[in-house]
Amino acid sequence: MDILADTPVTDLPATRERLRTAWQARKPDLAQRRADLTRLRDAFRASVPQMDAAIRADFGHRSSHENLLSEAMITLAEIDHAISHLRRWTRPRGASVGWRFWPARAEIRPEPVGVVGILSPWNYPVNLALVPVVSAIAAGNHVFLKPSEHTPRTSQFLRELLADVFPEDRVAVALGGAEVGAAFSALPFDHLLFTGSTAVGRKVMAAAAPHLTPVTLELGGKAPALICADYPIDLAAARIASGKWFNAGQTCIGVDYVLVDAARRDELVAALQKQLRERYGDLHAPQDYTRIINASQYARLSGYLDDARSRGLQVIEPFADPALREQRQAERIFPPALVIDPDPDAQVMQHEIFGPILPVLSYRTLDEAIARINALDRPLALYPFGNDRAQIEKILANTLAGGVTVNDTLLHFGVHDLPFGGIGPSGIGAIHGRNGFDTFSKLLPVFHQRRLVASDLLKPPYKGTIDKMIRWLAK
């Protein structure tokens, strides 16, 4: 596949204007939206093999099973969910006016906002691009997408797919690096969605501010798993391993660190190592283990382990093999590693890891574990494990995260009716299902007066009634 050239920065405003003009001339009705989503579903389903090949080429290697599960299945399910609920979502929603305004009535009308800009990331380059596109199209908008430059083949796949499905004045795709991304963020969109790091999210929000563009930020953070003392270690280890090492840890809601009661810390470490060997063998010829996306990310992760060793921390590398070090680095195979009880100022605790390194922290009491979670920024996800409902409720009542899966990991992301989004440094706003539809809509409040008008209340015979009400309220 020949990689297409970057989109000239000077072309971006004209493209946005073309999308906006076409939307203003003919806003997509229900039939148009359903037809668009149906064509997208059919075209995407037919192109899954091409998608799989593009992603594997961009990563150097990623398991086709991971691609089908995290990219194809989730995206197709989101499209089907939107199609099946679209009529209900677009209907006006009744709202009570209260007895004071009777017999008037009120409603909330979901109205499209115009042109939605979407900046999507590299870690799940299809899912995190197309799922927001689905929501924006369902809400009746036109879309301008800027996918990540770090997955150029997948970005080109997206451009070709969307060009086959939509006319160029309904959905457009811009390709390019940081310069294109910065100019894209500064366009006067009617709504802008960014998925990526907190640091870049700040820049996107600042670029959108001069136009007062509404923004939705899907960011990240240090998502903890907290194992209560009553929960089986083997089961917790299996589920944490799935949430940590899927996509080699390059997941915004992946487990970033785990807290376990001190008496069972070593048992958990042993169980995690067992899970790694059962899943990946000896890692000499890994077919189900995803590569790190690029050399820069590989060097960043290596730096975290170097920092841990320089502090004298225990670093466990089940697949360490000095003879394979150079080969693995060349192929960007970063073996899973555990860092035991790191200090709060260690780099693995100062930054979102976004890779296959897992800090294991021991705690003495549940209150101490909760305090350690609250000492960091509010995360995008939280994973409490416990069979005692009171303990789970205590954790939920005393922490706050973007989303929670109890006794497992990642799964809340796949539930269409749950809003997906962070809080504070982990994000602003939410997408998925009806929440995504509402994000890209203006929920327009409409009040319908009947028979009476407000000025009538100041005239006889109503004026006397109002006077009585004022005297009653003043008592």
Q: Where are the alpha helices (DSSP H) in 218-317?
A: 233-245, 265-280, 295-310
Greatest C-alpha distance within the chain: 95
- What is the DSSP secondary structure assignment for residue 68, as one 8-state letter? I
The burial of 108, by beta-carbon neighbours within 10 Å (0-12 exposed, 13-18 middle, 19 or more buried), is given as middle
* DSSP three-state, residue 282: coil
Query: What's the CA gap between 144 and 128, in Å, rounded?
Result: 14
Query: What's the CA gap between 186 and 341, in Å, rounded?
Result: 43
Pairing of strands 171-173, 142-146: parallel
How many angstroms separate the Cα of 353 from the Cα of each of 249, 313, 468? 8, 17, 65
Please give the structure tokens belonging to residue 282.
Answer: 């000896």
Spell out where 120-195 has E strands. Answer: 142-146, 171-173, 191-195
- What is the DSSP secondary structure assignment for residue 376, as one 8-state letter? S
Pairing of strands 257-261, 314-316: unpaired
Query: What's the CA gap between 444 and 455, in Å, rounded?
Result: 24
Q: Which residues contact 366 (CB under 8 A, 6 or more apart)?
A: 228, 229, 391, 394, 395
Cross-strand pairs, 118: 145, 193
Catalytic residue among 66, 71, 218, 352: 218
Residues 440/113, Cβ–Cβ less than 8 Å: yes
Query: What's the CA gap between 18 and 172, in Å, rounded?
Result: 10
Residues of the chain by 3-state class (helix, strand, coil), percent to 5: 50, 15, 35
Cross-strand pairs, 402: none
Query: What's the CA gap between 176 and 195, in Å, rounded?
Result: 16
Please give the structure tokens belonging to residue 106.
Answer: 């009120």
Spell out where 160-255 has E strands. Answer: 171-173, 191-195, 215-218, 224-227
228 is catalytic: no
- What is the DSSP secondary structure assignment for residue 452, as one 8-state letter? -
Pairing of strands 314-316, 337-340: antiparallel
The structure tokens 């080699």 sit at 248
Handedness of CA 93, 97, 99, 104 (dihedral sign): negative
Residues catalogued as catalytic: 218, 252
